[in-house]
Amino acid sequence: MSTGEKDNSAPITNPESWVAEHGDLLFRHALRRVQRRDVAEDLVQETFLAALHSREGFQARSSEKTWLLGILRHKIVDHIRKASRESSVSSDMPVEDIPEHLFDPGGRWAVKPSRWESDPGKALEAKGFWDVLMTCMEEIPGRMAHAFALREIEQMDVEEASEVMEVTPNNLGVLLYRARQRLRRCLELNWFS
C-alpha cells in the first residue's frame, strides 16, 4: 500500500467485550419487543453468535453497537415471523371479548376514553412507565403484542409488518386495534388513573 492510500479493510472487533459493552442494551431492546425474558436472552445470544460468525464482514460503516442492534432487529423479526406462523389469528381474542359497546354504529366512540391527567409524551420518558407498559404488553396475546411491537416500537410500515406477521394489512389493522384497546385499558388502570 502506497502512502496516501487508505486502508479500507474492516476492523476486527473484539468479541470478548461485546457482552460487557452491549449486553444490557441489547437485552433491554429485545425485552421491550418480545416481552419475555427467556426469549430476549435467547435472541441476544443468537445475536452475539451471528455477529461472531460475520465479524470479518463488519465494515465499520456504523458503530459496533448499531451493527449489533441491526443483527438483533433481524433476529427479533425472525422470531415474530416464526411465532406468527405457529399461532392462529382466532386464538388472539374471542369474538365476545371485542369491546363493541365502546363504539356507535358509525364506528365513533360511544364511550370516550377517560382523560389522562399527565402528558403521555412525558410518561414515555419515565422509567416507571416502561415497566407498566411491559407488564401490560405481557397481558395481551402474543400476536397482538407482536403486531404492536413491530408497528409502534420498531416503527415498521404496514406492508413490512404485514409481511413479517404473514397477515393481510387489514388483519394487521385488526390486531393493532385490539392490542391498542387492551393496552389503553391496562394503562388507564395502572398508570394514568
**The one-letter amino acid at 131:** D
Q: Using one digit for the tens of pLDDT, what is the confidence trace for 41-54?
A: 999 999 999 988 88
The answer to which of 10-19, 42-51, 159-168, 175-184 has the lowest mean pLDDT is 10-19
Burial 97-117 (b: 16+ CB within 10 A, else e): eeeeeeeeeeeeeeeeeeeee
Residues 186 and 119 both lie in one domain: yes
What is the rounded CA–CA span in Å between residue 190 and residue 182? 12
Is there a domain that residue 8 lies in?
no
Is there a domain that residue 106 lies in?
no
Residues 137 and 76 both lie in one domain: no
Per the structure, how many domains does the chain have? Answer: 2
Domain interval for residue 131:
93-99+115-190
Statement: the pTM of the whole predicted model exceeds 0.75: no
